[in-house]
Amino acid sequence: MNAQAETEGAVRYEAEGGIARLTFDRPAARNALTWRMYDELADGIAKANADLSVKVVVLRGAGGKAFVAGTDISQFSAFSSGADGVAYEQRIDAYVDALERIRVPTIAVIEGLAIGGGLAIANACDIRIATPGSRFGVPIARTLGNCLSPANLRRLTATLGLSVVKRMLLLAELMTAETLQPMGYVAAIVDAAALDDEIAKTCTRLLGHAPVSMAVTREMLQRLAHDPATEAADLISACYGSEDFASGVRAFLNKETAIWKGR
């Protein structure tokens, strides 16, 4: 990594065996995100979307101490008006929205802290795996004194519930993985030594499931988040009209294992 990258950090992208890995690599700053890192996150999402061999995306922080500890606060020193805040929140919304709408399932691996923008990113993923004692929150009421956008509040409220979001924001409370697991927010809590095995096991399960079924389900949930009365005849038709559905029915009736083609 060159000197600029060491200062600004990087988001590394790797893809192999149907799994793309996005690694937030700035451990000296607990992977706090610079503008460069946000842009590289967007680039990684675009690469995963374009590579049809990718079936799962795993997001993880480097160093084992943090997933992402928010946005690099030093960048806010350049803000001179409320308009800068509006532009910033719109920019963050665009990154998080792109992650939410990525075409394949996503897994966030949290070791330590998922704070502020880090929580927004982990929250946009489909599945969260954490190490014991990992902490989640947005303590801006006692740190920066800023706020979140309506879109990010909607996302957090949809996954965590209104009461938990109020505790996180008004009390600036960092909640542990152990607290959040019973409500289903954290899928698994495993020791660091077993983490890679848990990630591999989860990826294997996702790789073995019907891509069309998962894609339709994820898109339908996206629509419902914006409009509880949404219509989805197009998605239902695409799923039931797919080769995978016909193959799945045949395999089930013949007591065979379905072979999914994603179409």
- Give me the pLDDT at residue 262, please: 86
- Give me the pLDDT at residue 4, please: 52
For 60-71, letters b (16+ CB in 10 Å) and e give: bbbbeebbbbbb
Q: Assess whether 127 and 220 both reside in one domain.
A: no
Residue 49 in any domain: the answer is yes
Residue 258 in any domain: the answer is no
Last residue of a domain, one of 191, 207, 223: 207
- Give me the pLDDT at residue 76, please: 86
Cα 17-20-26 angle, rounded to 5 deg? 135
pLDDT digits (tens, 9 = 90+) for 117-132: 999 999 999 999 999 9
Domain count, the chain: 2
Q: Assess whether 158 and 237 both reside in one domain.
A: no
Rg (CA), the chain: 19
Q: Assess whether 200 and 242 both reside in one domain.
A: no
Which residue segment(s) compose the domain that 147 sits in? 3-207
pLDDT digits (tens, 9 = 90+) for 80-123: 899 999 999 999 999 999 999 999 999 999 999 999 999 999 99
Structure token pair of residue 38: 């946000």
Q: Assess whether 229 and 197 both reside in one domain.
A: no
Q: Assess whether 13 and 75 both reside in one domain.
A: yes
Q: Assess whether 170 and 196 both reside in one domain.
A: yes
Closest to 104 in 3D by CA, of 155, 37, 53, 42: 53
Residue 262 in any domain: the answer is no
pLDDT digits (tens, 9 = 90+) for 151-163: 999 999 999 999 9
- Give me the pLDDT at residue 230, please: 87
Q: Assess whether 116 and 90 both reside in one domain.
A: yes
- Give me the pLDDT at residue 6, please: 58
- Asked if 99 and 74 touch (Cβ cutoff 8 Å), the reply is no
Banded model confidence at residue 73, pLDDT cuts 50, 70, 90: confident
CA–CA distances in Å: residue 14 to residues 5, 20, 68, 152, 220: 17, 6, 18, 28, 28
Q: Assess whether 134 and 200 both reside in one domain.
A: yes
Q: Assess whether 179 and 235 both reside in one domain.
A: no
- Mean pLDDT across 15-44: 96
Residue 45 above 90 pLDDT?
Answer: yes
